[in-house]
Chains A and B, each alone.
Chain A
């Protein structure tokens, strides 16, 4: 991997530095890049909040820039990225958060003109995998999914339950984030309002399946092929259902399902599949496709399939050989610790919106 302007180091910007108990994927993506690239890599962290812990972690970002929230519009984001490029010359950007993907995908041609590489899905692919369109995707490509219905008001949910289409418990999900098990109508109403306020409408109602959940991190080559995939079982969950610990598994059915989904979508870029193996029948249901790396993606690098590095290489226009193996039985466990820092970084980010380290 070499820089496009011959400066010696490759500069890659990564977003999602919110390494909290509901972590963004930025820090693990950066760790995976550093694992593969060592000293030849310069990392630019793109932060939405001055308190994102990834900003303050040792050995993560060489530069940090505050960026506008996606809701502020593509032009404002592009203006900011152009400025950042003028300061540190970006070779590639790896955006890692769901809500920013549409703006970044729309900006791909403009970023290309600046010489900034990306490896992202198309707008159409993004729409097809959305929770709102998910049912249609499954029908079109014969992938088993739990029944789901997007709704825009609570009466619709009540009608669906009254008609017998759904019964409690059921899942209430946001279009970008959040999923809750509702066991009663008041619980469903509470989650509907909570999700609608946070992520907007529609909210998705989904059949509740009993079984064991597996997650797969994968990278699609954009032509229907798989660059690599690593499945894992979450062994410890946070209150929000996020993985706090996990272990890689070697179930061939998970790989088959991943290949089928990536082929169906001709997916270009990173993705995470959430799969349920039902307790009763042992059948596999695809619960969700997240259009980005999951926060546990460093496990893939640790298991010998460094998918974030492969994604960055593709963003830089390089050829990447598909991974034909990964290690089964590799586990991870998260931890939390306090980072103690002088005020300088917070000061610089709050006032100038950027911080640089030697």
Chain B
């Protein structure tokens, strides 16, 4: 995963139930538990 994509994913505001908001584009997403785990790992530098 390139640095730009990692930055973008890390900038998402995500709550405990998997609702994500991209503050730059205004898009919202719903993550399942697996997606939530992956996103947290990416945020910690995995990938």
Contact = CB atoms under 8 A, between A and B. Distances in A.
A250 B21 contact: no
A247 interface: yes
A214 B24 CA distance: 11
11 contacts: A212-B25, A214-B26, A232-B26, A233-B25, A235-B26, A246-B26, A247-B26, A249-B24, A328-B23, A329-B13, A329-B23
B25 A249 contact: yes
Interface of B is mostly: loop
Nearest to A233: B26
A21 interface: no
Interface in A257-312: none
A266 to B, nearest CB: 29
Interface residues of B, number: 8
Interface of A: 212, 214, 232-233, 235, 246-251, 328-329
Contacts of A329: 13, 21, 23
B24 to A, nearest CB: 5
B25 A251 contact: yes
Contacts of B26: 214, 232-233, 235, 246-249
Contact of A250 (B23, B27, B28): B23
Nearest to A246: B26
Interface in B1-47: 13, 21, 23-28
A214 B26 CA distance: 9
A235 B28 CA distance: 10
